[in-house]
Structure 1
Amino acid sequence: MTQTSSPRQKIQRRPVHGVLLLDKPLGLSSNQALQKAKWLLRADKAGHTGTLDPLATGVLPLCFGAATKFSQLQLEADKTYEAVLLLGQKTSTADAEGDVIATRPVPDITPALLEAVTRRFTGPLAQIPPMYSALKKDGKALYEYARKGEEVERAARHITIHKLDMALVHDSRAQAAIKIIVSCSKGTYIRTLGEDIGEAIGCGAHLGSLRRLETGGFEAGQCVSLAALEAMSEPEREACLLPAQSLLAAYPTVTLDADNAGRFLSGLRRRGEPGQWGDDAPLVQVYGSHPPAFLGSAHVTADELIPQRLLSPIEVQDILQATQRRLESFALEPPDLTAPSLHL
């Protein structure tokens, strides 16, 4: 008698709004990590805020629902990484996943040498993106050319290394190794930086490991792992979410009365008294006061509040209801209304 497997139960998706700070595990692409978290939360809309290679771990903010409207802010944000450079070998991908294509002896790594290299790679730089990247050339990702052994011309990008710390460390995989901690502007390829540092030292190098420590004010210590998320109940997973407006935490706040809030949410500009909306600003976060709710982003020019990215009335209502459910789920202890996950 032949056994037939029962059909797989379809997951009932639901509106979920907020930001999940994920500590991306080794071996998963950013999209694979996103899809796993999306499945665990049963979210109907999600996106990540910039790619981390499968080799890399660390801070990966995932945006759900209304938060996806503000994910570009994280794409533009400065970032901090920790990496180990394995000296003496250059690989086809500039990291440990590639084939070794050159081996050279490593010179004596002195403090003076490290200091000189640090100075050379701190500040504004022109960096040529690696062939193993998702950048497009004639509609194809560069890595598609690279996998066929082809190399195409790439324009240099202007980046900034705000801070670079370097220290000699022991690593059994290489003749010598250097740990670097680098704070940099968007668009910086740490693989390329590591390869360029290896060339400056005179022996070549590739990345042995890479971890993102911080992005746009979010730090690794705030993150949750996929394993921890899997072990949680669904309400516990939802409680891990930061509110959508956490992506705008660095910007000024404007609060509107009920009449102005309704008009603003429909996309209308609001003219204020001198200074009512504060100083001119390229970006502000906007809230309604009755009920207290996040409405979206705007900019202020000549005492006029001009909408930019708005939540829909349904999204505002979803968030208010989710917050109320979360408040009601607290048992005897009163909720901490200053907790980021409870902000409206």
Structure 2
Amino acid sequence: MTYNNAENYCVRIKCNGKIGSGVLIAGCDTFYVFTAAHCLGDEMPIIKEIEIQKQTDYQSEFKNISVVSIKEFDSEKDYALLEIDFEDEEKLLYQYKIAHSFLPNTTVEFCGYQGINNDEYRPFPCKLITSSDSNHCFKITLYDGETFQQAGNDGDLIAGGLSGSGVFVYRHKTPFLIGILNSVVTEQAYNSDINCCSVHHIKDYFEDYIDLSDFENLINWEENNRRERTESEILAFKKTDSQFFNYLYKKNKVLYPDSILCDEITVNQIRSYLSMKENIDTYSRIYPDLFSEFKTKVSKLVNQVKTQYSLSVDRPNEAKLSQRDLQNELKSILEFMPSTTTFDLSEFQLIEWLGICTLNFTNND
């Protein structure tokens, strides 16, 4: 499940004729939008003047998000923190933390609504140039080949709506929010440089403020993050009342008694199975004779799978060995198929047999 992209947290902000961007953050007990203060006007606005909207993808309809209160508004340092009424996609919002201690030339990404097209968000790959610890700000620049200038328009026009966009650093495929965009440097944006405000200004609102220089901390965070995603997927599969999933999960509990490992393997199997099933369905239509032979050969193994490879075991390794031997036999009878498909087809068939109880493993009590 690939949630961890900067665009998942991007919102559009309209206030008193101004249009900007913002970033969603999950706090301890509520949710917030962090944005540039100038996106809300020269002075603190009243709540009813603020309109926050979110898309599920860059071409979907906008959904409104209600503002509960204005927690911070600093026009000098150009940041604002808005508490919002937000109940959807809670799991998605817990996929990242705010962070500090980043280094120059670090790759970053931001996503927001450009002034020239504020109905679609767009992600931008960048790198950090420099930072100021005393003022809690930093500067980023677009990578070579990227520019804000388009069709003769000045860079500040193109980038105008991007103010307030969340700036993310990725570690172990996990995003960490480090700040927001404030302004493009110079009207023409010759160097595609952007001034940014650090999340340090709002760190007191959040439990975790990750030190990106602490390698061990990052590894632990990614492991916990991956476990949370796996657990959420397990719950989602269970809610479907899928007999296939329930049977598969029971067999994996025999093969992998450790619950964390069992969850991870089951989720990976479900992902692989659904992906391979789609491919097999497609190729079955293109090469009907070849895949008809595949189904015929596999069906001839069913009785053998039930009687020879299905076991009641004292130790997980007994079941694993039986599963390995069955996969090897599958590979041998599928040699007539293209060599690049043999492993995937044998893996697919194993998962399917586990999920429909043709291949059955139980524990001896």
TM-score when scaled to structure 1? 0.25
Q: Which has the higher helix share?
A: 2
TM-score when scaled to structure 2? 0.24
Q: Of the two, which has the highest radius of gyration?
A: 2
